[in-house]
Amino acid sequence: MVSALIFDVDGTLAETEEAHRRAFNETFAAQGIDWAWSPEDYRELLKTTGGKERMARHRDELGHGPSDAEIAELHKLKTARYVEIIASGEVPLRPGVARLIANARDAGIRLAIATTTNRPNVDALIRATLGADPDHLFDAIAAGDEVRAKKPAPDVFELALNRLSLPPEACIAFEDSEMGLKSAQAAGLRVVLTPSAYTEDGEFGSADWLLPDLSHPLPVEITRGLGQSDAIT
């Protein structure tokens, strides 16, 4: 029986990518930078994990733009704007997420987060959507700014496992992207994959379970722990 559920954040807990794209573009405009990422641009840029890394990639593709130090400052401004957008309540959780988190807590299944995004973004989303202190709701939180290598490297999932003091076979990961799937699998985790608006064209054949969202029947390994019978096998 599963002992812990480990969630990605962006695209998995909530469809946050449009809020990220908006925060990037508003930050660029406010700082006089003539970048404006379209949904198509951003879909391609999401293949590079990490906001600073996406900006650096875009700069390098153009052949000019902000320095690495300037990108770091831009990212701080972008994070502040993103937190404002999320705090306004514009971005809800995806279907089934709140119910699964509540049921897991009630059943004594531990909860964790393993995300490429930074900690302020995580805290803003959890407070805005679940009305809870993230450290009280989740037993472990591992964020992208705490590890050496971001997804698809396994570092952030390995950090979450370390903080849970659990082996990967005792846990199930929840992801929405190819990069996240590769990261979780490299850490030895089984994965429930729920494609998001920005990742729905991905290759997810290696996922252990593929669901439209978490309102659909869940793996029996999870439902057994929740004391439920409605499951997929």
CA distance 42 to 40: 5
Which residues lie below 8 Å from residue 28, measured CB to CB, with a gap of 6+? Answer: 34, 35, 36, 74
Residue of 8, 139, 155, 176 with catalytic role: 8
Q: How far out from the chain centre does Cα 3 lie?
A: 20
Catalytic status, residue 8: yes
Residue type, 188: G
Residue from 10, 139, 155, 176 carrying the catalytic annotation: 10
Reply yes or no on whether 145 is catalytic.
no
Q: How many CB atoms lie within 10 A of CB 34?
A: 7
CA-to-CA distance for 57 and 137, rounded, in angstroms?
A: 35
Q: Which active-site residues does the annotation give?
A: 8, 10
